[in-house]
Amino acid sequence: MKTIGLIGGMSWESTTSYYQIINETIKKELGGLHSAKILLYSVDFAEIEHYQAVGDWEKSGQLLTDIAQRLEQAGADFIVICTNTMHKVAPQIQEKITIPILHIAQATAQALLADGIQKVGLLGTKYTMTQDFYKEKLIESGLEVLIPDQAGIIEVNRIIYDELCLGNIKESSKQTYLAVIDDLKKVGAEAVILGCTEIGLLVKQSDTDLPLYDTTVIHAEKAAEWAVNKRL
């Protein structure tokens, strides 16, 4: 079994989901008392969020690169960045390490295409929804990507940072998200990507008839698959 290097803490609530899903998937694959070999470096999210807010992606990239290098030196066989937004600096990190990064958008695109989805809505932080670093991975895979209108982008992003990342789960915010999802459905979305590792804490598949693709679940399950049987 390969050793997974997790970069977590962005936020810590969603990182606990990664740990649980990876181990559940390993147990399902291998049975018995098997569990995942994991090295976890959990960051101080306030530091990362500050660099995001001021647009200093270079500095945040340097910080995560240093962590990835430490995980590689400690014996990780591949890296999993436990957040969507910080995949913006994944190319910068990859240049400085010799082990691969399991990219969350590529894993998500594979899951969508396997289910025959062509047109998909994308929810996430404002960075994930509006910047190319994430969407282009989906588009390169052959998907058509839809995002909310400007008001929707602002509110979806606000709820992530002001509520979900602090562990606050509000029914009113769930209804806001469901309204945004409904709007995406009206303009042709066949499914919606929950493209922030916190959104799955708020919105569940049982809340809507439109298929939801929770990137936390997809990414964590793919990490477990890589650990047990995928050649890197």
Same domain (yes/no): 113, 39: no
- Residue 122 pairs with which residues in a beta bridge? 193
- Quick one: 38 and 94 in the same domain? yes
Angle between helices 215-229 and 12-30 (to 10 degrees): 40
pTM score above 0.85: yes
Domain of residue 56 covers 3-103+217-229
By annotation, the residues acting in catalysis are: 83, 196
The segment with the largest mean pLDDT, out of 52-56, 70-74, 215-219, is 70-74
The CATH number assigned to the domain holding 93 equals 3.40.50.1860
On the question of pLDDT at 230 being above 80, the answer is no
pLDDT at 13 over 90: no
Point out the least confidently predicted range of 6-10, 48-52, 149-153, 183-187: 48-52
The whole-number pLDDT of residue 229 equals 82
Mean pLDDT over 38-51 rounds to: 95
94 and 149 assigned to the same domain: no
If asked whether residues 28 and 71 sit together in one domain, one would say: yes
- 132 vs 147 pLDDT, higher one: 147
What is the model's pLDDT at position 231?
56
Which whole number is the average pLDDT over 60-76?
97
**String of DSSP letters for 144-202:** EEE---HHHHHHHHHHHHHTGGGT---HHHHHHHHHHHHHHHHTT-SEEEE-STTGGGT
Q: In the predicted model, is pLDDT for residue 232 greater than 60?
A: no
SS3 call for 81: strand
**For residue 146, what pLDDT is reported?**
97
Same domain, 109 and 48: no
Please indicate, yes or no, whether residues 160 and 146 belong to a single structural domain of this protein.
yes
83 and 12 belong to one structural domain: yes
Q: How many domains does the chain have?
A: 2
CA distance 162 to 166: 7
Q: Which amino acid is at 77?
A: D
| Mean pLDDT value of segment 124-134 | 92
